[in-house]
Amino acid sequence: MWKPRTRSPVLILAGVGALAAIAGLLIGRAEDVEALREYRGLILLASLIPALWLTWLYWRRIDEAARDAQKTAWFWGGSAGLGVGFAASMYVAVRDPTFLGLLPPNATPAELVHAGAFGVVIAQFAGFLLAWAFWWWSKR
């Protein structure tokens, strides 16, 4: 009999590994970056469907306390991270386009937008992790 609570992390890690392998194969088949444009939809579909399925499995298998930790951390940590990411993006736009030397001085506007979006996502995830850890620490 399959025990979902004990095998869920293994299943999630296997799913993430499979997604990475699929993306790696598609990227490896492309001769240059421009050739990847035709694979974008396939890469998105190949990663989105299993990601949603694994997320659904994870959510069904966690208890109410873990669900509350997730919701609280995404609300407070994600919101705070969004604010930090937005402030950093505004700093780049107004003051320092190289963002403390992390971006090339001749970066195109598209590269700056991508870097800003990536920075906001990273800031939201960092905020989530901090809020999640604080939530569990406060409940111990």
User: What pLDDT, on the 0 to 100 scale, is given for residue 62?
Assistant: 86
Identity of the amino acid at 69: A
69 with 114, same domain?
A: yes
**Token digits of residue 67:** 């669900």
Residues 71 and 130 in one domain: yes
Pick from 7-11, 18-22, 77-81, 118-122: least confident: 7-11
Same-domain check for residues 74 and 139: yes
Q: Does position 6 have pLDDT exceeding 60, yes or no?
A: no
Statement to judge: residues 81 and 138 lie in one domain: yes
Domain residues for the domain of 12 are 1-61
Domains of the chain: total: 2
pLDDT at position 34 is: 64
What b/e readout covers 66-91, taking b as 16+ CB neighbours within 10 angstroms? eeebbebbbebbbebbeebbeebbee
pLDDT score recorded for residue 137: 92
Is residue 26 very low, low, confident or very high in pLDDT (cuts 50, 70, 90)?
low
In three-state secondary structure terms, 63 is coil
Q: What is the pLDDT of residues 63-107, one digit of tens each?
A: 898 899 889 988 998 889 888 888 877 777 777 666 666 777 787
The verdict on 55 and 81 lying in the same domain is: no
Domain shared by 68 and 46, yes or no: no
